[in-house]
Amino acid sequence: MGTRKISSALAAGCPVVVKPAFATPLTMPVLEEAGVPAGVVNVAPSKSSGKIVDAILHDPRVRVVSFTDSTEVGRTLLKGAADNIVTPAMELGGNAPSIVCEDADIDKAVEGAILAKMCNIGEACTAANRFFVYDKIYDTFAEKLTWRMGSMKMGNGLEEGVEVGSLVNAATRNKVIELVNDAVERGVKVLCGGAVPEGPGYFYPATVLGDVSPDSRCVAEEIFGPVAALQRFSDEEEMISRANDTEYGLISYLFFGEMKRGMALCERLEAGMVGRNPGLVSDPAAPFGDVKQSGIGREGSHEGLKEFQETQYVSVEW
Residue 16 shares a structural domain with residue 160 = no
The answer on 152 and 242 residing in a single domain is: yes
- 318 within some domain: no
**CATH number of the domain to which 38 belongs:** 3.40.605.10
pLDDT string in tens for the chain (318-residue length): 888 899 999 999 999 999 988 878 787 778 888 888 989 999 888 888 889 999 999 999 999 999 999 999 999 999 999 999 999 999 999 999 999 999 999 999 999 999 999 999 999 999 999 999 999 999 999 999 999 999 999 999 888 999 999 999 999 999 999 999 999 999 999 999 999 999 899 999 999 999 999 999 999 999 999 999 999 999 999 999 999 999 999 999 999 999 998 999 999 999 999 998 878 888 888 999 999 999 999 999 999 999 999 999 999 998
Residues 122 and 72 occupy one common structural domain: no
In a domain, 82, yes or no: yes
Shared domain check, 244 and 160: yes
List active site positions: 91, 125
Are both 67 and 136 inside the same structural domain? no
- Tell me which amino acid residue 213 is: S
160 belongs to a structural domain: yes
The Cα–Cα gap between 14 and 160 comes to 42
Residues 59, 136, single domain; the answer is no
Confidence at residue 7, expressed as pLDDT on a 0 to 100 scale: 92
Statement to judge: residues 104 and 87 lie in one domain: no
d(CA 68, CA 106): 33
Determine the structural domain holding residue 144 and report its residue range.
96-276
- The structural domain count of the chain equals 2
The pLDDT of residue 183 = 97
| Cα–Cα distance for residue pair 311/316, rounded to 1 Å | 16
Q: Are residues 13 and 143 in the same domain?
A: no
Q: In what order do the strands lie in the sheet with 227-233?
A: 189-192, 207-210, 227-233, 128-134, 96-100, 251-255, 273-276
* 3-state helix/strand/coil string of the chain: CHHHHHHHHHHCCCCEEECCCCCCHHHCCHHHHCCCCCCCEEECCCCCHHHHHHHHHCCCCCCEEEEECCHHHHHHHHHHHHHCCCEEEEECCCCEEEEECCCCCHHHHHHHHHHHHHHHHHCCCCCEEEEEEEHHHHHHHHHHHHHHHHCCCECCCCCCCCCECCCCCHHHHHHHHHHHHHHHHCCCEEEECCCCCCCCCCCCCCEEEECCCCCCHHHHCCCCCCEEEEEEECCHHHHHHHHHCCCCCCEEEEECCCHHHHHHHHHHCCCCEEEECCCCCCCCCCCEECCHHHEECEECHHHHHHCCCCCCCCCCCC
CATH of the domain at 246: 3.40.309.10
Domain annotation covers residue 120: yes
| Whole-number pLDDT of residue 179 | 98
> One-letter amino acid identity for 93?
G
Query: What's the confidence (pLDDT) of residue 301?
Result: 92
What pLDDT is attached to residue 84? 95
315 within a domain of the structure (yes/no): no
Per-residue pLDDT at 205: 97
- Whether the model pTM is above 0.85: yes
Is 281 contained in some domain? no
